[in-house]
A and B are shown apart, each in its own frame.
Chain A
Amino acid sequence: MSAVPRSLPSLGEVASSRRETAGGADRACKIEVDSLNFYYGEARALQDISLQIQPNVVTAFIGPSGCGKSTFLRTLNRLNDIIPGTRVEGRILIDRVDIYRSGMNVVDLRRKVGMVFQKSNPFPKSIFENVAYGLRINGMAGSRSELAGRVEDSLTQAALWDEVKDRLQESALAMSGGQQQRLCIARALAVRPDILLMDEPASALDPIATQRIEELIYDLKKNYTIVIVTHNMQQAARVSDRTAFFWLGRLVEYDRTEKIFTAPTEKLTEDYVTGRFG
C-alpha cells in the first residue's frame, strides 16, 4: 500500500459538489468546533480547539498517547458526560446545532453520532441481538421481518453478512477479534447515524483484519462522515482525507492528509510524522 492516500482525489470531488449545492456559500460543514476546552476535574485536557469537518470526509486525529485526541473524539457524542467531574467550555456544532446547549437530547445525539471503540465491545448476546439492540432501544425495530432486514443490511454494510449469516443466533463473543470489531461497526450503523467516530478501531487487530477495516472505512465514506483516532500514521495516511495533529491537548495542525505527511507547516508536526518522537 502506498503512503499516498488513494482516497485523496475524491476529496476534491466531494468538496466541489458540496460547494455547488451550497450555492457558493461557505463549504458545508458537518461538525464545527469553536474554542473548545475540556477539563477532567481541574486538569485541562483540551485547550482552545477549533476546527471544521466536512461531510463525507474521513478525518484522522493523530498524536502521541495522552495528547487528548480520544478525549476530543468523545466530546463529539458527549460520551465524556458519563465520567464524573468533567467539564466542557466552548461550542461544538453538528449540523449547526450546539450539542452542548441546555435541553439538548443526548440520547438522540448519540444515535446520530455512532461510535466504535478501541477494544471491540460486543454485548454478551447473540450476533443478531447485538445489531438489533440499538434498533430496539431507539424504537426502530418495527416488525419482525423489518428488524431482520435492517440487521442484514447493517451486517452487509460492515462486510460481515456472508461470514455470519448462518450463525446469527450464536454468541458474539465466539467470533474472532476482527469479526467482533466489524460487528461493532454494524451495530453502530444499524441505528443510521450520520457521523461515525472510531477510536483506534484497528489497534488490537492483525494486519489482515486491519486491512478489512480500512477498506470498510473507505466504502463507508460515501454515506457517513468519519472521524478516526489512530496511533498508526501509515493508517492515517491510507484512510483519511484530512488529518489533525494533537499535542499536549492542543490542535497543532489540521490540513489535507497529503500536506500533513509531506509538507507540514509546523516543525512539531514534521517531527512527529517523521517519527522523531511519539
Chain B
Amino acid sequence: MSAAVASGMARRRGADTAFQALALLVLVVTLGALATLIWDIVADGGGTLSWSFLTSFSSRRASQAGIWHALTGSIFVVLVTAVLAVPVGVAAAIYLEEYGGRSLTARIIELNITNLAAVPSIIYGLLGLGLFVRTMGMGRSVLAGGATLALLALPVVILSTREALRAVPKSLREGSYALGATKWQTIWHQVLPVAAPGILTGLILALSRAIGETAPLITIGAFAFVTFAPDSIWSPFTVLPIQIFNWVSRPQVEFHANAAAAILVLVTLLLSLNAAAIWLRDRYQKGGIS
C-alpha cells in the first residue's frame, strides 16, 4: 500500500468514526428527551394512577376525579372514526392505485390528497363545526367528533394504503392476469391478502394519530367538563387530550397530578397501538413475500 492510499484510508476511517459518533449523539439526545419526559410524567402522575382513577368521572375535587368519561369518549370517537375512515380510505386507495390510471384528473386528486395530509388539524375542526355540527345538525356529538377525525385520518389512510398496494410485486399481478383473472379477482385474491398487513399498519398509525388529536375536537365543542360516559353516537363527549388540557390549565397542583396520570394512560394507549403496528409489520416481513 502506498503512503497516499494509506493516508486516504486513514482519513476515510476517521470520517466514518466521526459520523458514527454524531449519529450516536443524536440518538442519545432524542431518546434522552423521551426518557426524561416519561420519567417526569411517572413521577408526577404515578401516585395518582389507580383503578378508581380509571373508573371515576370528572369531579371538582381532584382526589375524586377520574378519567372514565374521557377514556370511553376517546374510544367511542375513535371507533366512529375507524368505521367511517377505514372503508372509504381503503376503497379510495384501491381505486386510485389500481383503476385510476395516470390521467390528469387522477394526478390532480393524488396531489390534493398529499396536500390534505399536511393541512393543520384545526382546519378540519372548523370544517367539522360548519359541516357536521351545524349544517348536518349532528350537534356536539360523538358522531360529529368521529366524523371530523375521520376527515383528518382519511388522507393518511389513503396514502398508507396506496403505499402498501404499491409494494405488492408486479410479478404477482402478472401471474394472476396470465391465468385469466379479472382485475377485481387479482386485487381481491392476490393483491389485498399480500398488502393486508401493510394496510393494517397504516390504519393503526392513522387512528393512533386521531386519538391524540385535541384542536379539531375543541373547535367542534367537545365538552371539557362532562360527568357522564357517552352511551350513544349522539351523546356529548370529551376525550383524553381535552381532559388533560383542562386539568393542566387549573391552578390547583392536585389537578396537575391528575393530568400527568391521564397522560400516562394516553401514552400507554398510543404506545400499545404503535407496538401492534410494529408487530404486524414484523410478521409481514417474516411472511417472506418475494
Contact = CB atoms under 8 A, between A and B. Distances in A.
A203 to B, nearest CB: 14
Contact of A110 (B171, B177, B190): B177
A114 B179 contact: yes
Q: Interface of chain B, helix or strand or loop or mixed? A: helix
Interface in A132-165: 133-134, 137-138
A137 B178 CA distance: 12
A103 interface: no
Interface stretch (A20-28, A51-59, A118-126, A267-275): A118-126
Nearest to B183: A82
B178 A188 contact: yes
Contacts of B181: 107, 133-134, 137
A111 interface: yes
B194 interface: yes
Q: On chain B, which size bracket covers the interface?
A: 20 to 34
A77 interface: yes
Given A107-B181, A110-B179, A84 B171 contact: no
A107 B290 CA distance: 26
Contact of B178 (A85, A110, A122, A124): A110
B174 A117 contact: yes
B289 interface: yes
Interface in B104-119: none
A115 B178 contact: yes
B175 interface: yes
A184 B178 CA distance: 11
Interface in A50-86: 77, 79, 82, 84-85
Contact of B180 (A85, A119, A124, A191): A191
Contacts of A173: 288, 290
A124 B289 contact: yes
Interface in A160-178: 173
Contacts of A242: none
A138 B172 CA distance: 18
Contacts of A191: 179-180
Given A123-B190, A137-B189, A117 B171 contact: yes
A219 interface: no
A79 B177 contact: yes
Interface in B153-185: 169, 171-182, 185
Contacts of A138: 179-180
Contact of A119 (B171, B173, B189): B171
A117 B180 CA distance: 15
A187 B179 contact: yes
B179 A124 contact: no
Given A84-B101, A84-B102, A137-B185, A123 B180 contact: no
Interface string A72-116: 000001010010110000000000000000000001111100110
Q: Pick from A122, A124, A187 the residue with the most CB of B within 10 Å.
A: A124
B179 A134 contact: yes
B179 A121 contact: no
A79 B189 contact: no
Contacts of B177: 79, 82, 110
B251 interface: no
Contact of B172 (A84, A110, A123, A134): A123
Contacts of B102: 84-85
Interface in B122-137: none
Contacts of B182: 107, 137
Contacts of A184: 175
Contacts of B176: 123, 133, 137
Q: Pick from B101, B190, B289 the residue with the most CB of A within 10 Å.
A: B190
A229 to B, nearest CB: 14
A184 B175 CA distance: 9
A172 to B, nearest CB: 11
Interface in A186-240: 187-188, 191
29 contacts: A77-B178, A79-B174, A79-B178, A82-B174, A84-B102, A107-B181, A107-B182, A108-B180, A110-B178, A110-B180, A111-B180, A114-B178, A114-B179, A115-B174, A115-B178, A117-B178, A121-B171, A121-B175, A123-B175, A124-B289, A133-B176, A134-B180, A134-B181, A137-B185, A187-B175, A187-B179, A188-B178, A188-B179, A191-B179
Interface of B: 101-102, 169, 171-182, 185, 189-190, 193-194, 287-290
Interface of A: 77, 79, 82, 84-85, 107-111, 114-115, 117, 119, 121-124, 133-134, 137-138, 173, 184, 187-188, 191
Q: Please list the 5 inter-chain residue pairs (A to B) with the smallest Cβ-Cβ separation, ordered nearest first.
A: A111-B180, A134-B179, A121-B171, A115-B178, A121-B175
Given A82-B173, A187-B179, 13 more contacts: A77-B178, A79-B174, A79-B177, A79-B178, A107-B182, A119-B171, A124-B194, A133-B181, A137-B176, A137-B182, A137-B189, A187-B175, A188-B178
